[in-house]
């Protein structure tokens, strides 16, 4: 199946320039294009698995890298759609933040984002253990809680902040990221999982 690049309606953001956003969206489009290209190449190579064994194994490894790059950016950009909206204090997500993080969720999540190396700070919910999980996914395909649905995804590759803040500006970018979040959408992701 060929995936289509999604279009996002993102308002002016505080602390993240339109130019940075446009460049970031173009990188996302590259993941969609590359995932589709690999998928069709795999079909071609599968006609002779013996002859193409090395190429096949490389492409199969590469495929999830491109897929995760595509899908995580979709989680990322849609978090800005609809404009900044604060977390509702009486929402089920706010309640679980309070129970598990005692009011320190944002601070803790920012610390994950500020870890060294390109990747993603991630928030998941485990419906089996009935608790949130947070983690750092190196690049976009290492270190995930692979079975858990995603609640919040923060891109901390340098391309996300280099233009606006320079190589040392990750913390400022992460502050800006939090200022622009539409928490209503993030609350809905959580509510849809726990219902
Ligand atoms: Fe990115």
Write the class of the CATH domain 92-194.
alpha beta
Map out the domains of the chain as residue ranges. 18-78, 92-194
Q: How many whole angstroms from 27 Cα to the centroid of ligand 1?
A: 7
Cα-to-centroid distance, 140 and ligand 1 (Å): 9
Report the separation in Å between the CA atom of 104 and the middle of ligand 1, taken as the mean of its atom positions: 26
Cα-to-centroid distance, 150 and ligand 1 (Å): 16
For residues 155-163, average pLDDT: 98
Q: Report pTM.
A: 0.95
What's the 102 CA to ligand 1 centre distance in angstroms? 30
What percentage of the chain has pLDDT greater than the value 70? 100
In whole angstroms, give the CA distance from residue 161 to residue 145. Answer: 25
Question: Is residue 98 pLDDT above 90, yes or no?
Answer: yes
Provide CB contacts within 8 A for 191, sequence distance 6+: 91, 92, 93
149 CB contacts (<8 Å, ≥6 apart)?
A: 124, 125, 127, 189, 193
In which element (H, E) is residue 152 found? strand 150-155
Q: What pLDDT was estimated at residue 195?
A: 85
28 alpha carbon to ligand 1 midpoint, in Å? Answer: 7
Of the pLDDT bands very low, low, confident and very high (cuts 50, 70, 90), residue 171 is very high
Report the mean per-residue pLDDT for the chain.
Answer: 97
1 confidence band (pLDDT: 50, 70, 90): confident
Contact 122, 140 (CB under 8 A): no
Q: How far does residue 129's CA lie from ligand 1's centre (Å)?
A: 30
């Amino acid at each position: 199946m060929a995936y289509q690049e999604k279009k996002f309606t993102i308002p002016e953001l505080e602390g993240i320039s339109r130019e940075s956003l446009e460049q970031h969206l173009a990188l996302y489009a590259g993941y969609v294009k590359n995932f589709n290209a690999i998928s069709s190449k795999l079909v071609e190579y599968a006609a002779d698995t013996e002859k193409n064994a090395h190429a096949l194994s490389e492409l199969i490894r590469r495929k999830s890298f491109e897929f995760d790059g595509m899908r995580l950016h979709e989680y990322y950009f849609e978090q800005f759609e609809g404009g900044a909206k604060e977390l509702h204090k009486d929402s089920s997500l706010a309640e679980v933040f309070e129970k598990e993080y005692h009011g320190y969720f944002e601070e803790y999540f920012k610390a994950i984002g500020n870890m060294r190396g390109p990747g993603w700070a991630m928030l998941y919910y485990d419906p089996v253990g009935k608790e949130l999980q947070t983690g750092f996914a190196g690049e976009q395909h290492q270190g995930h809680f692979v079975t858990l649905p995603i609640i919040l995804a923060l891109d901390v590759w340098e391309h996300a902040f280099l233009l606006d803040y320079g190589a040392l500006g990750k913390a400022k970018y992460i502050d800006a990221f939090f200022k622009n979040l539409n928490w209503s959408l993030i609350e809905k992701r959580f509510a849809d999982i726990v219902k």
